[in-house]
């Protein structure tokens, strides 16, 4: 779920972020933690830099892509289904 403006302001205040470099550093640390968790291995700062430098051109390309006029989406509150038992049928919903 995307962060709200208030949550972003709180993150900036909590981490004493005063510049773009501070934000980049925070994101890089977060990226490192996520990669380490996924890979179940320790990563050096140098390795994280190499990885981020390698994917940065793809990120820039994705950021500069043309946007569609409309992005359709479906919001599902729950799934409705029918359950058939030998002697009866019921309608059920799972949130």
Give the pLDDT of residue 23.
Answer: 65
Residues 89/83, Cβ–Cβ less than 8 Å: yes
What is the per-residue pLDDT across 34-91, written as a single tens digit (0 to 9) for each?
777 877 878 787 887 887 788 888 878 888 889 888 988 888 778 888 888 888 888 8
């Amino acid at each position: 779920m995307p962060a709200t403006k208030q949550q972003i302001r709180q993150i900036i205040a909590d981490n004493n972020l005063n510049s773009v470099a501070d934000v980049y550093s925070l994101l890089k640390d977060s990226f490192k933690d996520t990669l380490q968790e996924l890979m179940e291995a320790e990563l050096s700062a140098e390795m994280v830099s190499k990885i981020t430098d390698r994917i940065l051109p793809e990120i820039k390309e994705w950021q500069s892509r043309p946007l569609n006029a409309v992005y359709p989406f479906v919001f599902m509150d729950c799934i409705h289904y029918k359950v058939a038992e030998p002697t009866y049928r019921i309608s059920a919903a799972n949130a």
